[in-house]
Chains A and B, each alone.
Chain A
């Protein structure tokens, strides 16, 4: 488009400046505060950069910055490293479970007659529109010791009434919660990859005597890989920082970094340590995030 007008630049500038001010700048502030020390003041950290105090004072504030919060977070004496590790582990296991659960569903949907596909798609998206909190909450009633699952198992005589299954407040409950809440995010990219697939490829394979299972591994699976990557990243990255699910379904021994950050911030009231935790979490996730961005940019912008 050769048309140049101020309107054209406004369309670019408004969202650009908005995201700079409310997405990028906040990260710089988090980074700066992660290098500060806690103080009993408002705001509860120092140094506070104050340009009005003059250049000398400004320079002096710089020398007050330190990496103490990082050495605190990265020391083996504290639980943080363990929390990062167990968050990555829980998110990783959940992502694999999601793929195992989501793939057959997406595959079935892509095989379904064209006329019912939009309905199936809507049925997958519908739970996503209902509140995340509600969906997690629903599982408390099911998994608790006197909950519906135990009642059912007792009624069926599978377990005895005085020994109900302890699922709530364990990591198993966290896995169930993550798989349940993130399932639409896994199914949708898988479905869109599988739906685009050309069926004649499978027909050709069958004609040439390839058994269906081998055809699946040689044709369907490789062609669905973009969907697999997109789905896995879409689930894995937010799951690492998950807070609500481990808090409501997990036990006291469920260690996840999102919960640790929250506790550090709202219970221990250390803004500087929680900032350091956030910066390190971001550093752990930066590679998958960049990978996801590229995938998304290629998919959405059609480049």
Chain B
């Protein structure tokens, strides 16, 4: 059997992508529907988008969500990168099994358990629930995702570069910022983005750990969805999808360009 796509391969890819994308495309199309009924097409209109920008509750929720996500992603990236370095560079240490368990378990832990346990912790220590408790909860579960992304980069990279710097008298601290960080930066950036979208997206953990005054966008959308499907929610979703798509495409173009430059540099080095 040779490399290349058979009839079966092409069909399964095509059907798979149709399954993945048709629901999202339909959702976007119906956000431009003039009718109040989501499933009856009554002409093209921006009505729901205009409506959306007059919905103060939704805008407030969006603002809270963005602030939580930004703080979460930034702190989780620092903590997750530290955890990744520990797990890939420190060899054996006491309590390693426990640590690696705590890093991987949140990846699959059902959200209801994480949410409930964090809420009970916040109540037990008497922390006022709201913006900060959501942020703490989000940092905790997203840092594990960051750690896995960064680890996969750390394992594949050439450690002799780090060792050379250390041999030449560079401090470990400086070695990290001068050698290691620039090399793993793409992974750190994608870790940040992953943490950002996970936080942006989370409904269950935020619902458990929130308090009065801090309602996130998924919580607001969820409570409206329970009352029924409305084109306004379609419009809100479309805006979110558009933002994410643009960010992901820019990021992938950037990594591609970086990769090409690296290859060019390698070719030049080989030629000269």
Q: How far is the CA of A243 from the CA of B114 in the complex (A)?
A: 13
Asked if A127 is at the interface of the complex by the 8 Å CB criterion, the answer is yes
Note all chain B residues with C-beta closer than 8 A to A130. Answer: 24, 240-241, 244-245
Q: How many residues of A contact B (CB 8 A)?
A: 100
Q: Decide: B148 and A233 in contact? CB cutoff 8 A.
A: no
Binds A, one of B4-12, B45-53, B55-63, B262-270: B4-12
Q: Residues of A contacting B13 with CB < 8 Å? A: 105, 108-109, 112, 120
Question: Given contacts A20-B102, A127-B24, A289-B108, are A101 and B16 in contact (CB under 8 A)?
Answer: yes
Residues of B near A43 (CB, < 8 A) are: 123-124
CB atoms of B237 and A131 under 8 A apart:
yes
Q: Shortest CB–CB separation between residue B138 and chain A, in angstroms?
A: 11
Q: Return the contact of A18 from the options B10, B21, B110, B143 (Cβ within 8 A).
A: B143
Q: Are B113 and A282 in contact (CB under 8 A)?
A: yes
Contact of B112 among A123, A126, A140, A261 (CB under 8 A): A261
* Contact between A18 and B140, CB atoms less than 8 A apart: yes
Residues of chain B within 8 A (CB-CB) of A58 are none
Which of these, A122, A275, A297, contacts B252 with CB under 8 Å? A122
The answer to whether A30 touches B116, judged by C-beta atoms less than 8 angstroms apart, is: yes
In the bound complex, do residue B16 and residue A23 qualify as a contact, i.e. CB atoms below 8 Å apart? Answer: no
A138 to B172, Cβ gap below 8 A?
no
Chain A contacts for B200, CB-based, 8 A: 131
* Interface stretch (choices A62-70, A72-80, A144-152, A155-163): A144-152
Asked whether A151 and B204 contact (CB < 8 A) given A104-B8, A111-B5, A142-B23, the answer is no
In the assembled complex, B99 has its CB within 8 A of some CB on chain A: yes
Query: A275 to chain B: which residues have CB within 8 Å?
Result: 116, 120
Whether the pair A141, B80 counts as a contact (CB closer than 8 A) is no
Q: Mark B108-130, 1 if CB is under 8 A from A, else 0.
A: 11111100111011011000000
Chain A residues within 8 Å of B, Cβ to Cβ: 1, 3, 5, 7-8, 11-12, 14-16, 18-20, 22-27, 29-30, 33, 43, 101-102, 104-105, 107-109, 111-113, 118, 120, 122-127, 129-135, 137-142, 144, 146-148, 151, 180, 183-184, 187, 199, 202-203, 206, 212, 215, 233-234, 237-238, 240-244, 248, 258, 261-262, 265, 271, 274-275, 278, 281-282, 285, 288-290, 292-293, 296-297, 300-302
Q: Can you report 25 residue pairs joining A to B where beta carbons are below 8 Å apart?
A: A7-B173, A14-B79, A19-B83, A19-B99, A19-B140, A101-B16, A104-B8, A111-B5, A124-B20, A127-B24, A133-B221, A134-B24, A134-B241, A138-B27, A151-B39, A183-B16, A184-B20, A244-B222, A258-B110, A271-B120, A278-B116, A278-B117, A292-B104, A300-B152, A301-B100
Ranked 10 nearest A-B pairs via Cβ: A241-B110, A26-B117, A104-B12, A105-B16, A108-B9, A138-B23, A15-B83, A237-B108, A26-B121, A19-B102
